[in-house]
Chain A
Amino acid sequence: DQQVKQNSPSLSVQEGRISILNCDYTNSMFDYFLWYKKYPAEGPTFLISISSIKDKNEDGRFTVFLNKSAKHLSLHIVPSQPGDSAVYFCAASAPHSSGDKLTFGTGTRLAVRP
């Protein structure tokens, strides 16, 4: 049962344009959502997060949007840079569940073309 889904395994974007990565979830108990960036043979690096009491959180070039009614979140990267090329994972956690364990999506590989 995949509670967090990233339906696009890959995305290719021109440098300078916007990258939009999407994530859907099914568990209505999730109240904290995160995006991680991962390079090959390295651990994931935390990018940005959002609590369910908000619908938008911005940090520099990265913005996360949360639509609770649709159980959907997205990560916008503007402008995209070649160094952004990596696999992006969304993750979610629910309160009072197994500590603050994260449930991960399967990832989207972003390629930013120069």
Chain B
Amino acid sequence: DGGITQSPKYLFRKEGQNVTLSCEQNLNHDAMYWYRQDPGQGLRLIYYSQIVNDFQKGDIAEGYSVSREKKESFPLTVTSAQKNPTAFYLCASSTGRTGGNQPQHFGDGTRLSIL
């Protein structure tokens, strides 16, 4: 069954600690995305990658880092520089615009909280 897997579902971070959220997809999608959702707000784009070994900052990239070493994987690191990391993090993937207008498909998210 093809899909997007995010892990862990819940994550706790101590002050000053970096944490990494995992996102894996087996949909053979070229493009992958990380969004953040806060209560009462829409999803805001953190980083995106259209192809392996390439990624760009989204609207709220400060305090985050990513890598795209494999097509299937797009891990997000929340660094200690992110002062308000408590949020619901969503990973998505799509075929990208080269395939025409196609929707993004989302994983089930990781909820990050501060201890």
Residues of A within 8 A of B (CB): 4, 9, 32, 34, 36, 41-46, 49, 51, 89, 91, 93, 95-96, 98-102, 104-107
Which residues on the A side are within 8 Å of B97 (C-beta)? Answer: 95-96, 99-100
Give the docked Cα–Cα distance between A101 and B57 (Å). 11
Which residues on the A side are within 8 Å of B40 (C-beta)? Answer: 9, 106
Give the docked Cα–Cα distance between A41 and B42 (Å). 14
Q: Which of B45, B101, B105, B109 contacts A49 (CB 8 A)?
A: B101
B39-83, CB under 8 A of A: which get 1 and which 0? 011111100101000001010000000000000000000000000
Residues of B within 8 A of A (CB): 4, 6, 31, 33, 35, 40-45, 48, 50, 56, 58, 88, 90, 92, 94, 96-97, 101-109, 111
Tell me how many residue pairs across A and B have CB atoms closer than 8 Å.
69
B106 and A101 within 8 A (CB):
no
Distance in Å: Cβ of A37 to nearest Cβ of chain B: 11
| Chain A: CB-nearest residue to B111 | A41
A46 and B45 within 8 A (CB):
no
Besides A41-B108, A99-B97, 5 other CB < 8 A contacts? Answer: A9-B40, A32-B101, A42-B109, A100-B97, A100-B104
Give the docked Cα–Cα distance between A46 and B38 (Å). 20
Give the docked Cα–Cα distance between A104 and B105 (Å). 14
Q: A41-B111, A89-B42 are in contact. Are A98 and B90 (CB under 8 A)?
A: no
